[in-house]
Amino acid sequence: MSLTDPLDPVTAEILRANLVAITDEMKSNLRRTAYNQIIYEAQDFTVGLFDRDGDTVSVGLGLPMFVGGLSRAVKAKIAHYGHDGIEPGDILLTNDPDIMGSHLNHMIFTLPVFADGEIVAFASSMAHWMDVGGVLGGTTTDIWSEGLQVPMVKIYRRGVLNEEMLDLIAANVRFPELAMGDLRAQIAAIRTGERRVGALVERYGTRTLTQGFHDLYARGEALARKAVEQIPDGTYTAATTMDDDGVNLGVPVPIEVSVTVEGSDLTIDLSGVAPQVTGYFNSGMTAGISAAQVAFKFLTTPDAYPVNEGALRPVRVVLPPGRVVSATKPAAMRWWMTYPMTIIDCVFRALAQAVPEGTIAGHHADIGVMNLIGTDPASGRFFVFNGAAQGGGWGARAHKDGEDATICVNDGDTHNTPVEVTEAKYPSLLVERYALRADSGGPGQRRGGLGTVYDVRTEGPARLNTFVERTHSAPWGIAGGAAALPNRVSLITPDDELVSFPNGKIDSRPLAAGERVVIETGGGGGFGDPRTRPVARVLADVRAGYVSVAEARAAYGVALVAEPLAGAGEALFVRSDAETPWHLDEAETERLRGA
């Protein structure tokens, strides 16, 4: 029997479920043992199992953009050392941006799984370390200014820790206790994978396990091809612009994608994406390919688990080197994740021309992070607050309103950090407000999701960096739906003066005690004509505070009247739209919708 021959269905399903469970356990172990808040709260990491050649077998649900980075890193390590150069107990480490396509904060640890003296699989983890050195300011123009670069190394060799390498890493980061804690957590996670896969080998044997891998690939490919066949053949394009690269302020960066469907094959061409930029918004080839694959997975088999190599076989990505999502050294990549989000959005927008009911309107496409650097006045401790990744609005679909306050598309399973945790970890910061942003969702028959408002006051002097994009390119609607509000960054002085900015990027701005940073994420675009949204849904949105009375009238053609206050005069009371008992003005609504 060939290794690629299908298994019997019962064994295949048992192995599939086991592989999903293993990566779930790896993920849980890493999250529970990490020292870094961005890992244990925000879940900015991914773990996975890979076959002998480095193809993805199962990935623990996390950041979708990490799937390609992990597989590419495993394959690069195999190419570097060769199978014969990797021994039991070796743990391979790198954060090379040319390999993984992202910033230096991502450390990738890989452990081989041996059976009968041969490598049968690899367990790997990729996680965001809070600090890897580099300049603290927001603007970087080359990779060397962004921190410690770790080439391909064996952090463990035959089970023995490389103490000198560990000392080198610790000496180059600002918070070594966090870094070493996260290092141990990542190693614990991949050792969990090694043990669990070893148990499967003992139970089923290497041949059956390998057949199980190939069975997963075959089933994943078949499901994906069936989904592609439902899309009419043709070539579809979409384009937009990013605000700027953080250095050449006000100079838009064009993004254009082309999607070609031929039978069960789909090609995503990113040749029209802008060349790599001077600023820090570049990402490597792996990130550009991963963005295309994430869009493909969303469109074809979003609920099929585990995520594996077979499910991505029907998509081909055309991406020349030197683009902003295929940048080459020494491009700066500190904020690598932002442009790929809009790549994904544009793939959805392109295919909305072919299958509007099968895609989604534009979303806020940013993590809405602020970076505050200072010293806590009470304790005297230096701190670096890397923000709380904010949710925003997702686009509406044919049969559903967009999701409110949801993390951007390529950050997947990332969570926002609870206000209580932020204030406990950073006593000199006070979160004044974290709320939904009214009227931010794009009007439509299906309304776009709402963005959020995150308002933080600093109790002592600090320096502020923000990296927010898409403050000018609003999330678009589809099928007649309207655009949403874009992202926005502003300050409020201790005297309540509002300070606005031309874009969402602030570089090392000094903050005085009492100043507030306000980041508002955009909403999601609407789907369908807003004037066809059921009147009852519009009224419910107003009563919930999602849509204002003025927006209900202007965008949806729904007129509302307030129930008069009993007793004292109306002028003595101030009521928000959500607090006011609104009722439908049927005659005026009929007139507005008729017009």
The 10s digit of each residue's pLDDT in 378-420 is 899 999 888 767 899 999 999 999 999 998 887 766 677 789 9
Tell me: the pLDDT tens digits for 205-248? 999 999 999 999 999 999 999 999 999 999 999 999 999 999 99
pLDDT value of residue 3: 63
Cis upstream peptide for 330 (omega within 30°):
yes
B/e letters for 196-223, b = 16+ CB within 10 Å, e = fewer, are bbeebbeebebebbbbbbbbbbbbbbbb
Is 112's pLDDT higher than 90? yes
Tell me what percent of the residues of the chain surpass a pLDDT of 90: 84
pLDDT value of residue 564: 66
pLDDT value of residue 566: 53
Is 577's pLDDT higher than 90? no
Is 279's pLDDT higher than 60? yes
Tell me: the pLDDT tens digits for 332-350? 999 999 999 999 999 999 9
Tell me what percent of the residues of the chain surpass a pLDDT of 70: 96
pLDDT value of residue 24: 95
The two tokens of residue 505 are 């990027």
Are 209 and 200 within 8 A, CB to CB?
yes
Tell me: the pLDDT tens digits for 191-203? 999 999 999 999 9
The mean pLDDT of the chain is 93
Is 565's pLDDT higher than 60? no
Is 273's pLDDT higher than 70? yes
pLDDT value of residue 43: 84
pLDDT value of residue 452: 96
Nearest to 408 by CA among 362, 450, 363, 351: 363
Band (260; pLDDT cuts 50, 70, 90) = very high
Instruction: Give 66's contacts (C-beta < 8 A, 6+ positions apart).
Output: 45, 46, 59, 106, 126, 290
pLDDT value of residue 234: 98
How far is residue 453 CA from its own chain's centroid? 19
pLDDT value of residue 4: 64
- Report how far residue 160's alpha carbon sits from residue 494's, in angstroms, rounded to the nearest whole number: 55
Band (581; pLDDT cuts 50, 70, 90) = confident
pLDDT value of residue 575: 60
- Report how far residue 177's alpha carbon sits from residue 385's, in angstroms, rounded to the nearest whole number: 16
Instruction: Give how far Cα 246 sits from Cα of 88, 140, 237, 473, 571, Å.
Output: 45, 9, 27, 16, 47
Q: How many CA atoms are closer than 13 Å to the CA of 129, on its beta-carbon side?
A: 35
Instruction: Give how far Cα 373 sits from Cα of 105, 428, 462, 463, Å.
Output: 17, 11, 5, 5
pLDDT value of residue 572: 45
Is 138's pLDDT higher than 90? no
- Report how far residue 130's alpha carbon sits from residue 434's, in angstroms, rounded to the nearest whole number: 23
pTM of the predicted model as reported, rounded to 2 decimal places: 0.93
Is 496's pLDDT higher than 50? yes
